[in-house]
Amino acid sequence: MLGLFSVACSAGREGKTPPASPRESSSASAPAPAAPPAPSVEAGLAPTINAPRAMQYTKEVVAFGARPIGSENHRKLEQYIVGHLKGDEVEDDSFVADTVEGKFPVRNIIAKYPGTKDGIIVIAGHYDTNYPLRNTAFVGANDGGSSTAILLEFANQLRGKKREGYSVWLLWTDGEEAVKQWSDSDSVYGTRHLAARWQKDGTIKKIKAFLLADMIGDADLNIERESNSAPWLEDLVYQAAMKLGYQSHFFARTLEIEDDHLPFVKLGVPCADLIDLDYGYGNVFHHSPQDTMDKLSPKSLQIAGDVILQTVWMLDAR
Ligand code: ZN
């Protein structure tokens, strides 16, 4: 990832729900968001992920080396992901992206787990790694690795049982990273394509929530409250974190971040970007060859993974 804009406020470690950012609360002319009220949810406990297994997946993904679009390692990783989804309903969204660095094949991978309730919850994370750093020692353990792996572990939790709730679609996004310099036209190639496709075929209207995981493996986990996301969905994530006792890892800061959720935000889909942009002191490990396995911990994968699944279960119960 990503494009980062304003650092808004820091609050909420001890509070129940952090306040909205000054930017949001001061925009007096903006209409009140047409969001449902903060729900009081009685949902059952979601399953907990197998964090050591998620950590093992991260190791195996990182062992391929750098995985930028167009690379041999990227192709190997595509096979690795699909190889872990045997027996699941898997769909591809493949196309050629025309970028300032040339044309690249881009492939979003979607695994679908049907539910009894009408509607879809998408859980997404990118699997490509930074392109400009492709010829360095950069391997993207947290940035690319952790998101790939946690989705594979979600598949293990969802596979083989009909959900009593919404259908869940796991989405491994591709071409999230800029090839040169992050901008509207040089970023999130995969999700821009998929959002347009899902708008055309009517899928967009069925999506109840889009949960994005990015850089969630940092041993010192601090998930930001992200202000392009839907406030009510961020509130629900925080409720899920509180239910599991993990709220101290959530929402100490509010940031406005550009990430794979944006093409869906623009189409009115309620999104929550779960991202930790405090990766090493001053975020120094981000987009650095120091983004390696030793900076990650299975506990962080556990926290992020369990909170995401708990959020899904709470969405089911709304
Ligand atoms: Zn990145």
**174-224 residue pLDDT tens:** 999 999 999 999 999 999 999 999 999 999 999 999 999 999 999 999 999
CA–centroid distance, residue 143 to ligand 1 (Å): 5
Confidence of residue 11 (pLDDT cuts 50, 70, 90): very low
CA–centroid distance, residue 130 to ligand 1 (Å): 6
CA–centroid distance, residue 287 to ligand 1 (Å): 6
Structure tokens, 290: 């120091």
Question: Would you say residue 169 has pLDDT above 70?
Answer: yes
In a domain, 30, yes or no: no
Cα–Cα distance, 151 to 167 (Å, whole number): 15
Residue 193 contacts residue 145 (beta carbons within 8 Å): no
Any idea which residue has 């919404």 for tokens? 166
Percent of the chain with pLDDT over 90: 86
CA–centroid distance, residue 41 to ligand 1 (Å): 34
pLDDT at 21: 35
Domain count of the chain? 1
pLDDT at 2: 60
CA–centroid distance, residue 318 to ligand 1 (Å): 33
3-class SS of residue 42: coil
CATH number at residue 100: 3.40.630.10
Pairing verdict, β 207-214 and 271-275: parallel
Residue 48 contacts residue 304 (beta carbons within 8 Å): no
CA–centroid distance, residue 136 to ligand 1 (Å): 14
In a domain, 25, yes or no: no
In a domain, 66, yes or no: yes
In a domain, 262, yes or no: yes
pLDDT at 52: 98
Average of per-residue pLDDT across 148-152: 98
Q: What b-and-e string marks burial along 256-270, b requiring 16 or more CB atoms within 10 Å of the CB?
A: bbbbbbbbbbebebb
Q: What are phi and psi of 225, to 5 degrees?
A: -85, 125
Cα–Cα distance, 69 to 121 (Å, whole number): 26
CA–centroid distance, residue 191 to ligand 1 (Å): 15
Domain assignment of residue 218, given as a range: 3-19+38-317
Average of per-residue pLDDT across 65-83: 98
Question: Would you say residue 22 has pLDDT above 80?
Answer: no
In a domain, 27, yes or no: no
CA–centroid distance, residue 199 to ligand 1 (Å): 26
Structure tokens, 25: 């609360």
Any idea which residue has 């304003």 for tokens? 6
Residue 62 contacts residue 158 (beta carbons within 8 Å): no
Alpha helix locations (H) across the chain?
22-26, 51-63, 72-83, 147-158, 189-200, 231-244, 262-265, 298-317
CA–centroid distance, residue 259 to ligand 1 (Å): 9
CA–centroid distance, residue 127 to ligand 1 (Å): 10
The full DSSP string for 84-137 is: TTTTSEEEEEEEEEEETTEEEEEEEEEEEE-EEEEEEEEEEEE----STTTTSS
Question: Would you say residue 160 has pLDDT above 80?
Answer: yes
